[in-house]
Amino acid sequence: MRLLSRQNIVCQQWTELITDYLEGALPRGLVRAIDRHLAACPHCTEYLAQMRRTIAITGHIDGQIKGEPPPAPVPADMMDALQRAFDDFHHSPDA
């Protein structure tokens, strides 16, 4: 990684470093090398935009992953069963 920071970043390397870059996990020198590359490479800039878009779209599946509509309140019978288990545990001699 340190060696890489002294070099120029090329497109294919960027596609593997992008997550570490977005996570702030790269050494400063490497971030600078990437920023230099991005300033000169519209395709890699677009790749970054695509990845950000991907993350944003993934955030939208919240609530839809179990189908429409989003999860209903806890069914009463399930809640009652859980509460019985909770009460039994706390009132049992071993609790």
Partner 1 sequence: MSIVPTPEPNPMVPPMRSSLPPPPPPDEALGPLRLPGPTPPPDESELVDRLRRGDSTAFRDVVTAYQPALLRLAGTFVPSNAVAEEVVQETWIAVIRGIDRFEQRSSLKTWVTRILVNIARTKGVKERRTVPMGSLLSDAADNAAVSPDRFVGPPGKGAWAQPPARWSELPEEVVLSSATISLVIDTVRLLPEQQKWVVMLRDVEDWSSGDVCAALGLTEGNQRVLLHRGRSALRAMLEGQLGRAS
- How many Å apart are CA 6 and CA 32, to the nearest integer? 10
CB of 94 to partner 1, least distance (A): 10
Q: Does 38 bind partner 1 (CB under 8 A)?
A: no
Q: For partner 1, how many residues bind (rule: CB under 8 A)? A: 48
Rule CB under 8 A: which of 12-31 touch partner 1?
Answer: 12-13, 15-16, 18-20, 23, 25
- How many Å separate Cα 66 from the centre of its chain? 19
Q: Does 6 bind partner 1 (CB under 8 A)?
A: no
Best CA proximity match to 47, nearest among 87, 15, 93: 15
Backbone torsion region of residue 62, taken as left when φ is above 0, otherwise alpha when ψ lies between -120 and 50, otherwise beta: beta
Q: Does 40 bind partner 1 (CB under 8 A)?
A: no
- How many Å apart are CA 27 and CA 35, to the nearest integer? 12
Chain residues binding partner 1 by CB under 8 A are 10-13, 15-16, 18-20, 23, 25, 41, 43-44, 46-47, 49-51, 53-55, 57-66, 70-71, 73-74, 78-79, 81-83, 85-87, 89-91, 95
